[in-house]
Structure 1
Amino acid sequence: MALEIVGSGFGRTGTMTTKDALGILGFGPTHHMVEILEDPSQIGLWKHHMAGRPVDWSAVFKGYRSQVDFPGAAVWQDLLTAFPDARVIHTERPEDAWWASFNKTIGKVFRLAETLPLPDPIMDVTVSFRDGLIGPLLGDYRDRETAIAAYRANNARVRKVVPPDRLLVFDVAQGWKPLCAFLDVPVPDTHLSAP
C-alpha cells in the first residue's frame, strides 16, 4: 500500500484532528507520532534516515494510507519523491498559536527529556527525534524567533514545491468542507473537533 496523503504541517498544527478526520473519511490508517510512541520499535527505521542511510519509505509506512505530524512532516519532500501520486495536506495555524502550543508540549518534552521518568524506549524516541530530526529542522527549538522562522520557511517551501492541484493548505478551524472537497468525498454528519 502506498501513501495516498502526505502531511507536511509541523506537529501542533491540528495534526491529531486531521488524523482523526482522515480515519472518518476512509483514508486511514494514518501515521502520526502517536504510532511511534505506541510502537517504539519503529525508531530503527527513522535512525537509518537520521544517519544519512537510504530508507525504504514504503517499509516505514507499510500499512498506512496517509501520514500527518512529525516525524513524517520533517521528510515530506522525500515522501513526495517516494509516493509521487500522493496528495499533500499542509496543516497550519497562526504562528503565535503554533509556537505557544509547540513550546508547552513537544518543546517542553525535548527540553526536559533527560529529567523525565520516561521508559527507555520512549526516551530513545524522544532524544533521537530531538537531536536527529525535529530539532535540526527547527534550529534552536527553544528560541521562539528561530522556531517560528523555521515554521514560516516550511510553510513557504510547501507552497513553492507542491503543485497547487495536489495541495490543500488546511486549518482545522475551517471544518470539513475544504478537506472533503480536496479529497472528493461527502461531508460527514459529525463535528470536526479542532484542538
Structure 2
Amino acid sequence: MSRLIDSLPTPAHVREKLVIVTSRSRSGTFSLYQALQILGYKPYHMYEVVQTNTHMAIFEEALRCKYFGAGKPYGRAEFDKWFADYDTLIEIPAFFAEDIIAAYPDAKYIHVDRDVDKWLVSVLNIWHTVRPLLNSTAMKFMALYDPFIKLFISLHVTILRCLDHGMHNEDPNMAIVLKEDYLQLTDQVKKLVPRENLACFSLEDEFGWEQICPWLGKPIPATKYPRGNAPKEFQQLTMRLLGPSFAKAAGLVIGAVSIPVGAGLWYWLRLK
C-alpha cells in the first residue's frame, strides 16, 4: 500500500535529534515546548503538526500504520523525512516510543510523570467535550468546505482511537485502560532508554530550569520557567492558526448552523 511519506523527497539536511520528550499530553508538555524554545532548540510539538495539511496527514498516516495495520510502520527513514527540520520532539514520541527510541538512541530523553489519577481526570474532562464535537453533524458539514478542517478533525479522531482503543466515553473500562497505558509508557521508556540518556521528572514537583538546564548542559535563563495557563495559551496559538479556516468554512454555512459551530469550536479550543 502506498504511503504519503514515500512520496516526499528525501531532505537535503536532517537535523540531529538532541532532545526527545516521551511524556503524554497533559503532563506539562506545552510548558516544556515553550521552555525548550527559550533554550534555543527547535521543538516539534502538536502545534507544529497543525501548521500544515501535510504534517497532519503524515501524523495520521503514521498512527494508522502503527496501530491499525494501514501500511509499513514508520522507522528511522520515515522519521528523518517527517522531523527533518527539528532537533527536539515533544508529545508525538509518546505514540511511537519504541520506534523513536530505536531510531534516535543517542538523543537526551526527558520523561515527565504526573499523578495518574489527576492525569486521567484532565484527559477525560477534555474528551467528554471533544469527542461529541468532532463527530457532530455541524463539524462534518464545515469540513466539506475546507480541507484543512477535514484533516484536523480526521487526525484528532484517529488520535482518540489510538488512545481509547475504540471504546466509548461511557465504557466503564476506559479509565482502567487509559491508566494502564499511561503507566506502561513510563515503564517502557525507562526500560528502553539507557539510564545515562534519560532524565525523569514529576509534574507535581514543579520541575523547572534548575532541573532541566544542568541535564541539557544549558545556562539557566533569566526569564521564569513557563508556567502559564497552558490550555489558554495553546488555545490562543491554535486560534491564530486555525481561525482563518474556521472563518472561511463558517462563512459558507447558513447562519443557523455557523453560530453554534463557532461557539463549539471556541469552547473546544479553550479546553486544549
Structure 1 residues 71-80 or 112-121, which shifts more?
112-121
CA drift of 1:36 comes to 1.6
Pick the aligned partner of 2:88 from 53, 66, 76.
Answer: 66
Pick the aligned partner of 1:189 from 216, 222, 235.
Answer: 222
Unmatched 5+ stretches in structure 1: none
**Is the alpha carbon distance of 1:22 and 1:90 closer, same or farther for their aligned partners in structure 2, counting shifts above 3 Å?**
same
Structure 1: distance between partners of 2:18 and 2:193: 14
Query: Which structure has the greater CA radius of gyration?
Result: 2
Structure scoring higher RCO (CA < 8 A, sep ≥ 6) equals: 1
Structure 1: distance between partners of 2:202 and 2:149: 30
Q: How does 1:45-84 map to 2 (within 5 A)?
A: 45-49=58-62, 50=64, 51-55=70-74, 56-69=78-91, 71-84=92-105
**Is the alpha carbon distance of 1:110 and 1:40 closer, same or farther for their aligned partners in structure 2, counting shifts above 3 Å?**
farther
Structure 1: distance between partners of 2:117 and 2:104: 32
Structure 1 residues 158-167 or 50-59, which shifts more?
50-59
**2:161 is aligned with 1:135:** yes
**Is the alpha carbon distance of 1:44 and 1:113 closer, same or farther for their aligned partners in structure 2, counting shifts above 3 Å?**
same
Q: What is the SS of the residue equivalent to 1:174?
A: coil
**Is the alpha carbon distance of 1:4 and 1:111 closer, same or farther for their aligned partners in structure 2, counting shifts above 3 Å?**
farther
- What TM-score do the two structures reach when normalised by structure 1? 0.85
Q: Which residue of 1 aligns with 2:22?
A: 8
1:91 and 1:170 in contact (8 A); partners too = yes
Unmatched 5+ stretches in structure 2: 1-14, 65-69, 231-272
CA drift of 1:53 comes to 2.3
1:12 and 1:102 in contact (8 A); partners too = yes
- Alpha-carbon RMSD: 2.3
- AA aligned to 1:41 is T
1:74 and 1:134 in contact (8 A); partners too = no
Which structure has more helix as a fraction of its residues?
A: 2
Q: What is the SS of the residue equivalent to 2:117?
A: helix
Q: How does 1:36-185 map to 2 (within 5 A)?
A: 36-49=49-62, 50=64, 51-55=70-74, 56-69=78-91, 71-105=92-126, 108-115=129-136, 117=139, 119=143, 120-131=147-158, 133=159, 135-139=161-165, 140=167, 142=169, 143-172=174-203, 173-185=206-218
- What TM-score do the two structures reach when normalised by structure 2? 0.63
1:8 and 1:90 in contact (8 A); partners too = yes
Number of aligned positions between the proteins = 192
- AA aligned to 1:15 is T
Give the fraction of aligned pairs with identical amino acids, expressed as a percent.
24
